[in-house]
Amino acid sequence: MIHPTAIIEKGAQIADDAEIGPHCHVGPRVSIGAGTVLLSGVSIRGRTTVGRKNVFHPYCVIGGDPQDLKYRGEDSETVIGDGNTFRECVTVNKGTDVGGGRTAIGDHCMIMACAHVAHDSIIEDSCIIANATLLGGHVTVEKHAIVSGQVCVSHFCTIGQHAFIGGASALNQDAPPFMISRDVPSKVVGVNTVGLRRRGFPLETINALRECNRILWRSGDPKPEAMARVEQEFGAVPEVQVLLGALRASDQGRLGRAREASRTTPVAPDPEADLME
Amino acid sequence: MSIHPTAVVSPRAKIAPDTEVGPFCVVGPDVEIGPGCVLRSRVTLSGRVRTGARNVFHPTVVIGGPPQDEQPAAPDARIEIGDDNVFHESFTAHQPKVPGSPTRIGSSGRFEQGSHVPHDARIGNGVVLGKLVLLAGHVVVDDYVRLGAYTVVHQFVTIGRYVLIGRHSAISEDAPPFLRYVGQSNTPVGVRVEELARQGFPPATVAAIQEAYRTVWESGLPRHEAVRGLESSAVPEVREMARVLRSSLQGRMGRAREALRRG
C-alpha cells in the first residue's frame, strides 16, 4: 500500500505488504521488507536495506549522509533488521569507508524520538535508545542494552550487553556489560539487576556479577589486581568471562574504548601547518 | 479554513473554519482542531487529539503517536491541548497508556525544538519546555514551570508550580513549588524570588517561602521534622510546598506518583 503523495524512486524494492504513508520519500537503492510501515513524511535514502515488520514514525531520516568530515561521498550502506521501531524525527546515518562502510541495526530495537545513530555505528538486537540520545560515530551498542534519554556517547565507545546507561549521562569510555553506568563522565554505579532479572538470569549469576562490581569498582584495588581476583574467584561464570573480555578489550583500545583499536584514520593533517613555517 | 492542496487531511477530522493547514501536513480522522490554529508545514496529528484555539504548530511537530513503551496505548487514549500554545520543530506528544485519562497540555505554553511530552503526562498552563527537554512517562508539570534546555525528568516525577530547572539538569524526585533547581542533585538552589514578585506574590508570602526553603534545605533538620513545621504554617503557599514534600516522602524514591506504577 503506497499513498499517492509518497515518492518512490525507480529502483526501490518494496515488499508487497509494506505500507508507505503520505509524503514519504524512498530512494532508488532502498529495499524495504514485508510488513514494514512508514507512517508519514519518512525519508529513506542511500544504499539501505530494511528488513521486515519495522515501523518508522513521522519525519525519520534513515540512510542520510554521515556527519563526518572524512566522508567523501563513498558508496556506504545502512542495514536494518526486523521488528524495530523508529520514533519521530530519528536520524540514522550511513557508514563511511574509513569506518567499515556500514551502519547496522539488529532486530527488535526501539529508537525513541529525536535520537541520532551516527555513521558506522552498530546496534545489536533488543536494544532501547531513548529520546534525543546521541550515538557518535563508530559506536557499538550490544544486545539488550538500554540507553536512557539525552545521553551523549563519544565516538568509538562500546556499550556492553545488558548494560543500562542512566539519563543525561555522557560516555567517553566503554560502558561494561551487565552494569549500570551514569553521570558525566559516566561511571559504573552498580549491576543492572532489574534488567538481568527480567531477562531470566539466575540469581547466582547476578550475585557473582555483584561481587565483581564490588571487587572491580568499589574496592579501590588497582585494576589489574582486581581483574585477576575476579578471574580467580568467579572465572567459571560465563557472564563474568564476558565482562572480563570487555574490560580487556577496552584496555587494549585507546582512551578506554575497544573500537579505538580498529581506528584506521591517519592523523589529520593540520591545514594551518604550512602557514606556521 | 485554508488547507494546502498537498496536505492529507481526513474528511472525518473536525477543523475550525479559520484554521490554517500548511503544505505536507497529515491530519487523522479523530483529530479536532480549534479556531485560529496554524499548522505551518509537515505537521502530523494522529490518533484522538483535541486542540483548543490559536495554537501554532511549527514544521515536523508530531502529536498523537503511541506511547514509547512496551505496553500499547489505552483503548480510549486521547490527547487534549488547551489554547495559545506554540509547538516548535520536532516537538512530540504521545498517547496515554492508562485508560480513562488523557495526556494533557494546558494553555499558553511554549514547547521548544525537540521537546517531548510523553504518555500519561499532565502539563499545566504557561509552561515552558526548552530545547530537547525530555519528560518521561506519567510526569506532572504544574502551572508556570520553566525547564531549561536539555533537562531530563524521570518518570512519575511531580514538578510544582513556578519551579525553574536550569539547563542541562536532571531531576528524579518531586520538586516542590516556587523553587529553582540546577544540576543533577535533586536539591534546589533557592527560591524564584524575582519571578514570584513579578507574578504579584506579596513580599510577606515570598519571605515565608524563603524561610520554608531554609528550614528544609539549610537547617540540617531531618526532612520529616522540617516538613511537619511547614504543615502548620499560616501561609497557604508554604502548606502547598509541605504537601508536595510530604507526598514525595510517602512515595517510593521521592516520587509520590510511583504509587501509580503497575507491575
Q: Please write the tens of the pLDDT for every residue from A131-167.
A: 999 999 999 999 999 999 999 999 999 999 999 999 9
**Which residues share a beta bridge with A55?**
A37, A85
Q: What is the distance in angstroms between the Cα of B231 and the nearest Cα belonging to chain A? A: 33
Q: Is the pLDDT of residue B177 over 70?
A: yes
Q: Is the pLDDT of residue A21 over 60?
A: yes
Q: Using the 8-state DSSP alphabet, how is residue B66 labeled?
A: P
Which region holds residue B257: left if phi is over 0, alpha if psi is between -120 and 50, else beta?
A: alpha
- B44 and A59 within 8 Å at the Cβ level: the answer is yes
Q: For A122, what's the count of Cα atoms within 13 Å in the CB-facing half-sphere?
A: 15
Q: What pLDDT, on a 0 to 100 scale, did the predictor assign at position A276?
A: 47
Which fold would CATH assign to domain B2-190? UDP N-Acetylglucosamine Acyltransferase; domain 1 (2.160.10)
Annotated catalytic residue B58 = no
User: Domains of chain A (ranges plus CATH)?
Assistant: 1-138 (2.160.10.10)
Measured between beta carbons, the chain B residues lying within 8 angstroms of A89 are: 60, 62, 90, 92, 114
Cell numbers representing residue B84 in the block: 495559545
Q: What is the distance in angstroms between the Cα of A267 and the nearest Cα belonging to chain B? A: 33
Rounded mean pLDDT of B54-78? 96
Q: What pLDDT, on a 0 to 100 scale, did the predictor assign at position A265?
A: 65
User: Under a CB-based contact definition with an 8 Å cutoff, are residues A127 and A141 in contact?
Assistant: yes
Report helix, strand or coil for B36. Answer: coil
- Strands B188-191, B179-181: pairing kind: antiparallel
Q: What pLDDT, on a 0 to 100 scale, did the predictor assign at position A263?
A: 82
Q: Model-level pTM?
A: 0.94
Which residue among B65, B136, B150 places its CB closest to the CB of A87?
B65
Share of residues in chain A with pLDDT > 90 (%)? 92
Annotated catalytic residue B137 = yes
Q: What pLDDT, on a 0 to 100 scale, did the predictor assign at position B263?
A: 53
- A114 and B62 within 8 Å at the Cβ level: the answer is no
Q: Per residue in A250-269, pLDDT tens?
A: 999 888 999 998 887 654 55
Euclidean distance between CA atoms A140 and A174, whole angstroms: 9
Q: What is the distance in angstroms between the Cα of B90 and the nearest Cα belonging to chain A? A: 7
User: Under a CB-based contact definition with an 8 Å cutoff, are residues A154 and A136 in contact?
Assistant: yes
Which residue among A131, A183, A184 places its CB closest to the CB of B116?
A131
Q: Per residue in B189-238, pLDDT tens?
A: 999 999 999 999 999 999 999 999 999 999 999 999 999 999 999 999 99
Q: What is the distance in angstroms between the Cα of A168 and the nearest Cα belonging to chain B? A: 7
Measured between beta carbons, the chain B residues lying within 8 angstroms of A23 are: 6, 8, 24, 26, 42
Which residue among A3, A58, A131 places its CB closest to the CB of B134?
A131
**Where exactly are the structural domains of chain B?**
2-190
Sequence-distant (≥ 6) Cβ neighbours of residue B124 within 8 angstroms = B106, B141, B142, B143, B144, B145, B161
Measured between beta carbons, the chain A residues lying within 8 angstroms of B150 are: 150, 168
Q: Per residue in B87-136, pLDDT tens?
A: 999 999 999 999 999 999 999 999 999 999 999 999 999 999 999 999 99
User: What's the order of all strands across the beta sheet hosting A43-44?
Assistant: A7-8, A25-26, A43-44, A61-64, A91-93, A116-117, A134-135, A152-153, A170-171
Would you place residue A274 in the very low, low, confident or very high pLDDT band (cuts 50, 70, 90)? very low
